[in-house]
């Protein structure tokens, strides 16, 4: 079985550090006024970006589980 540093550490780094940059980017978008969450289509795309991030986290998580234990 692969060690923690070969399987889970890259996952944590990818979505931890990458998530910091992603959510910081969303914060900058909101603070700069580039997105108006009162508008329906802006709200849709904000939700789509956040959902997409967590969708890929979950997909990658389950694929790592499948590779390690099945």
CB-facing half-sphere around the CA of 52: CA atoms within 13 A: 8
Domain residue limits at 13: 4-69
- Reference 57, options 5, 12, 6; nearest CA is 12
Q: How far apart are CA 66 and CA 70, in angstroms?
A: 5
Q: For residue 19, what pLDDT is reported?
A: 97
Confidence at residue 1, expressed as pLDDT on a 0 to 100 scale: 75
Q: How many domains are contained in the chain?
A: 1
**4-32 and 40-69 helices cross at what angle (nearest 10)?**
180
If one counts every other C-beta atom within 10 angstroms of the C-beta of residue 14, the result is 13
Over the chain (70 residues), the average pLDDT of each successive run of 10 is 90 97 97 96 97 98 94
């Amino acid at each position: 079985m692969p060690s923690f540093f070969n399987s889970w550490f890259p996952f944590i780094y990818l979505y931890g550090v990458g998530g910091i940059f992603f959510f910081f980017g969303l914060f900058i978008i909101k603070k700069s006024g580039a997105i108006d969450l009162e508008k329906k289509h802006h709200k849709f795309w904000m939700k789509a970006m956040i959902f997409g991030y967590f969708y890929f986290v979950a997909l990658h998580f389950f694929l790592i589980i499948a590779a390690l234990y099945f």
